[in-house]
A and B are shown apart, each in its own frame.
Chain A
Amino acid sequence: MREQNAAVRRGNFDEVALGYNLKEALREAERCLDCSRPGCVTGCPVHIDIPAFIRLIRAGKYREAYDHLTEDTVLPAVCGRVCRQEDQCEKDCTVGKKLQAVAIGRLERWLGDMAIEKGWHQKHAIRPNGFRVGIVGSGPAGLACAADLARSGCEVIIYEALHRPGGVLRYGIPEFRLPDQVIEAEIANLLRLGVKVQCDTLVGRLFTLEQMLGEMGFDAVFVGTGAGYPKFMGIPGEGLNGVLSANEFLTRCNLMGAHRFPYCDTPVNLGRTVAVIGAGNTAMDATRVALRMGVEKVRCVYRRSREESPAREEEVRHAEEEGVEFLWLTNPVEILGSGEGFVRGIRCVRMEMGEPDETGRRRPVPVPDSEFDIEADSVIYAIGTNANPIMGQTSRLELDKRGYIRTNERLETSIPGVFAGGDIVTGAATVIQAMGAGRRAARSILNRLGVRTC
């Protein structure tokens, strides 16, 4: 796919991957073999009928292709961008066994973008069934759950604690990977299905799950609040000014518009050099947003090597191209202060890959006497999250040892009528896994309510 030039794009927030034009999309669609037993469908967490929508693209029936695609996903323009297709649909592509797999995600995005451009709406005949379902959190899990329930005829209200809907799509994933306009358009589609979204509403504290099922008259509730609660390492100096979580950094920039400070009120003030700790997708987002905030030097510090990085290969490559310096096999041992409470650098130690541990993954071990200091005005932690405690604090929900909500395979929680899915059940995972969980929960809710599903 064509991309914005690295030297140019590191200075703007415009989308990096430019998407297909018609010719490119048709050429890619031609590569699909239309297998009789398609691996791609099994590889997709929401089982999109991939060969069918690609067949329709090939036939030039774009509108039909979009309608077919949106039978299975509400957010094609989002998922086409942020899904890890290489580990899902594209992994099991027959063409991919010998050649480059069919770029399913890019075709999905192309259709999604075309729909936004042409103003196509998903049309579905909805027959109201009289049931009301409340959804806690408007991230990918909640949105996917809401879409399926609304199509089946339920009245759906989504409650969001922040002032804009979308959850991690909004506050986490930056504009240059997922433009706001795309989120806006796909949520608008959901509203057209009759779903209502109420922002500024912190469920648990403003009202409880029990109240929702009681006086508020919901027949079922889905909890998709995400994991939240960022982790730190517990090394000295983490309380210094300039040490922050990737969640905070990305929220300040993506949701609060810190790149437009002081036009927008929220500052972020990174200084000249930034170090990001961790090498997952969130870390890559943080490094690349930092570059776009005008920081001179951005380093990424990770205790394992590039091969073990949990980020998508494409994200690491993008960051490298844009000029992020990677310190692989490097672990922070102390955040160094300026003496006035601000960060001035990180003391690191070199690591080497040791023997495999009980999980079979090789464990990084420190190299003796290899300490060295790097300069940093800001240190951004992107090493994962723990469970957000609010739902547990405010209800009788049964939690596991780590504080995540315990569910059975139907995603039912310990409170009858309350279902949960996404990161608050599994711990941090991907957008599409959360969407898959939202859809599974929707099926279970419909089953419980005795609504026939299509």
Chain B
Amino acid sequence: MYRILAREDYSDVTFMIEVEHPMMARAARPGQFVIVRLNDQGERIPLTLADFDAARGTVTLVVQAVGKTTMQMKAECRPGSVLQSLVGPMGMPSSVGRPGKVVGVGGGLGVAPIYPQLRAHKENGSYVIAVLGFRSRDLVFWEDRFRKVCDELVLCTDDGSAGLKGRVTDGLHQVLEHHRDITEVIAIGPAVMMKACSELTRERGIRTMVSLNPIMVDGTGMCGGCRVTVAGKMKYACVDGPDFDGHQVDFEELMRRLNRFRGDEKAALERWRKHAASCNLRRGISEES
């Protein structure tokens, strides 16, 4: 059981939880992920670490409530409540390499996980640029955190209410036009976004690392559910990754494989929504009486 110490909501779907796990807080490195399980019937879901603080003894997860388990987390995770299982850190840590000029592109669920990577690059002496995408101004989070570890920050919003009007790929394109000496791009977010970023850098020959998020069960190399094709070879994202060279990843296959349980996921979500609604109804009635 792992206690949740803090929670903050960033939008109607995005929220942050800080969980107590002193040993993991010490062991965690940028790029690694954890597996969370809520209860005895619960599935095991992988989430990339958004932060870790050895001094506080905590790890931070930023979650987007888009499926059954993440919706349930949004409803149930509160300061003082617990996660039944929290395993990790898993996967190979990202390699920081020699100092250079690094761009981190984060969109959707990839905004938070790009943060520890950029912090590590900053500490390593690199010139750091962040390109972050949000729907609109009021959904922007962690701007202050990013400003602290970045030399430049490019915000992109769908409606133009903050920063650049457009997608992160537009932001990345602008940065690549402006800086001709970028040594590395890191892209984390939906597969389609990572693919688009990799296409932008391919012709310029800039090393591009992406963090893959395939379906997993155990997260320890045992089930093979997370296999991806990289440079024509089969890799297991959980133990061989999750970071891979974006120019070598078969994104089409990854995107197809992410749809593997589409029907079941929808059914599970519907079932949970009904259950949650009836619980709320019951709670409402008992509060009224």
Contact = CB atoms under 8 A, between A and B. Distances in A.
A216 to B, nearest CB: 10
A206 B271 contact: no
A317 interface: no
A241 B88 contact: no
A232 B224 contact: yes
A161 B224 contact: no
B279 interface: no
Given A248-B224, A251-B218, A390-B220, A241 B260 contact: yes
Nearest to A244: B225
Interface in A168-185: 171
Interface string A212-235: 000000000000001011101010
A251 B222 CA distance: 9
Given A247-B223, A262-B271, A256 B44 contact: yes
Contacts of B68: 265
Contact of A261 (B27, B225, B234, B264): B264
A207 interface: yes
A244 B261 CA distance: 13
A163 interface: yes
B206 interface: no
A264 B271 CA distance: 11
B217 A389 contact: no
Contact of A229 (B41, B69, B90, B221): B221
Contacts of A341: 256-257, 259
Nearest to B67: A265
Interface stretch (A72-80, A197-205, A353-361, A366-374): A197-205
A395 to B, nearest CB: 14
B257 A241 contact: yes
B109 to A, nearest CB: 19
A267 interface: yes
A251 B268 contact: no
A388 B253 CA distance: 24
Contact of B268 (A200, A206, A207, A267): A267
A4 interface: no
Interface size class of A (residues with CB under 8 A): 35 or more
Contacts of B257: 239, 241, 341
B87 A202 contact: yes
B133 to A, nearest CB: 27
A252 B222 CA distance: 12
A262 B239 contact: no
Contacts of A262: 264, 267-268, 271
A264 B264 CA distance: 12
Contacts of B229: 239
A232 B234 contact: yes
A305 interface: no
Given A257-B41, A262-B268, A265-B41, A388 B259 contact: no
A269 B261 contact: yes
Given A200-B85, A232-B234, A256-B43, A266 B217 contact: yes
Interface string A440-452: 0000000000000
B37 interface: yes
A390 B259 CA distance: 28
B71 to A, nearest CB: 11
Nearest to A205: B89
Given A201-B87, A262-B267, A245 B44 contact: no
B23 A206 contact: yes
A230 B265 CA distance: 25
Given A341-B257, A389-B221, A390-B220, 18 more contacts: A162-B218, A162-B220, A163-B37, A163-B87, A205-B88, A226-B222, A229-B239, A230-B224, A239-B257, A248-B224, A261-B264, A262-B268, A264-B43, A265-B268, A341-B259, A388-B222, A389-B239, A390-B239
11 contacts: A161-B87, A162-B220, A171-B218, A202-B219, A205-B90, A232-B234, A242-B260, A266-B43, A388-B221, A389-B240, A393-B92
Interface of B: 23-24, 27, 32, 37, 41-44, 68-69, 84-90, 92, 217-225, 227, 229, 234, 236, 239-240, 250, 253, 256-257, 259-261, 263-265, 267-268, 271
